[in-house]
A = this chain, B = another copy of it.
Amino acid sequence: MANSLPSLHTCLSPALLNLYDVNHTTVVIIDVLRATSTIATALYNGAKCVIPVDSVAKCIELGKQIDSITAGERDGKIAEGLSYGNSPFEYPREFVGNKTLVLTTTNGTKLLHMALEKGAGQIVTGSFPNLSAVCDYLLGVKTPVILGCAAWKDRINLEDTLFAGAVISRVKQAFSINCDSSQMAETLYKDAGGDLYEFLKLKNASHYHRLTGFGLEKDIRYCLSADAANVLPFYENGKLVVHKG
C-alpha cells in the first residue's frame, strides 16, 4: 500500500529546486517572513487577487496598467518606487478588500516564478497563518508534493524549514517520504515545541535578527501564528486567488 502513496519532498533552497521534478507536482511556496504570510492575509481580508511579479520594474509597470496596489520589498524594506511593503499589517480588510495587490519580494515571488518556469503542476502558497488550509489541501491531492522554501538569497533559513516541518508532521501519513530534508524539517519542528518565536530567538535565526533590527517583532509573531488567515492561495492565470475547496 505504501508504494501507492504520492511522494513528498522538501526543497530547502531555491538553488536546489533543479534537483526535483516539478512536473505534475504540487509545489507549496513557503516564505514565512513574510511574503506568503502577507499573501494569505491579503486574500483572507478580501483582496480580489495577488499578482506575484519577480521584479520591482514589472510591479511598477503593472501598477500603471491596472487598478491595483503595488507593493514589495527588497532586503526587508519597502522597495524604491513602490507604495507599500511586505508586512501583513499593511493589508487590513478596509484597505485591501476587493482590490488587486501586485507584489514582489526578495525570495518568495522569485521562487514562485522559478517553479512556474520549470512547469510545476499546481502552485499554492504556505505560511503559518494558513497552515491548516495548506494541510487540508495536500491531504486531498493525488499528485507528488514539493515543499519549496524560499530561504534568504538561497541560504537555508530556520523559519521556512520549520513550516515545512509543521506541514509534514500533519500530512505525512498520506505520502511516501524518502527525503532527508523532510526528516530534518520535521525533527526541527518537533524540537522547537510550541513557541516558535522563542525558538527563533534562542537560535538567533538570521532573518529573525534582520527583522527585529527593523522593529518588526509584531510581524514575526503574527507570521508564526497558525491559522490567523486560513485560506489557500492558489495560482491560476497569473494570479493567486482563494482556492474554492
Taking A19-B154, A154-B19 as contacts, is the C-beta distance between A203 and B187 under 8 angstroms? yes
A180-B154 contact in complex given A15-B19, A16-B15, A191-B191, C-beta closer than 8 Å: no
Complex Cα spacing A147 to B164, Å: 24
- A1-44 interface (Cβ within 8 A of B): 12-13, 15-16, 19
Copies in the complex: 2
- Would you list which residues of chain A between 166 and 194 have a CB under 8 Å from chain B? 177-181, 183-184, 187-188, 191
- Residue A156 interfacial (CB < 8 Å): yes
A161 at the interface (CB under 8 A from B): yes
In the assembled complex, A218 has its CB within 8 A of some CB on chain B: no
Size of the A side of the interface (Cβ < 8 Å), in residues, is 28
With contact pairs A15-B16, A15-B19, A16-B13 given, residues A158 and B178 touching in the complex (Cβ less than 8 Å): no
> Lowest 3 A-B CB distances belong to which pairs?
A183-B203, A158-B180, A157-B180
Given known contacts A16-B16, A187-B191, what 20 new A-B pairs fall within 8 Å (CB)? A12-B156, A16-B155, A16-B156, A19-B154, A19-B155, A155-B179, A156-B180, A157-B180, A158-B180, A158-B184, A177-B204, A178-B209, A179-B206, A180-B203, A180-B206, A180-B207, A183-B205, A184-B188, A187-B187, A188-B188
